Amino acid sequence: MLIYETDDSGFADSVIDALTQAGIDCYRTGGVLLYTPSESTICIHIRNATDSQRANEILIQQGAALDQPGSISPVVIVAAVVVAVLVALWVVR
């Protein structure tokens, strides 16, 4: 079960160590790809889904970025309203 993705290999190593010390069976996949210039992505997995809550707590303790609900910028809202009004006026003509 995938629990986290990062491009920071040192962070991935510290999380794997912390999970292992907590008795959570885990592993990582990914890393530097030899033939592509893109950034590497390291995926951290746990083998038992029942460990996911404890694994997430450990991730947060290690400094993992938290998913924050997205919010729409007021500028985007105003722009959408302006576009909608212009389209409505164009359709009415």
Hey, how many other C-beta atoms are within 10 angstroms of the C-beta on 50?
10
pTM above 0.85, yes or no: no
Q: Could you tell me which CATH number the domain at 2-66 has?
A: 3.30.70
85/79 Cα distance (integer angstroms): 10
Parse the chain into domains and list their residue ranges. 2-66
Alpha-helix runs per DSSP H in the chain: 9-21, 52-62, 74-92
Least confident of 32-41, 48-57, 62-71, 76-85: 32-41
| 7 burial level (CB within 10 Å; 0-12, 13-18, 19+) | middle
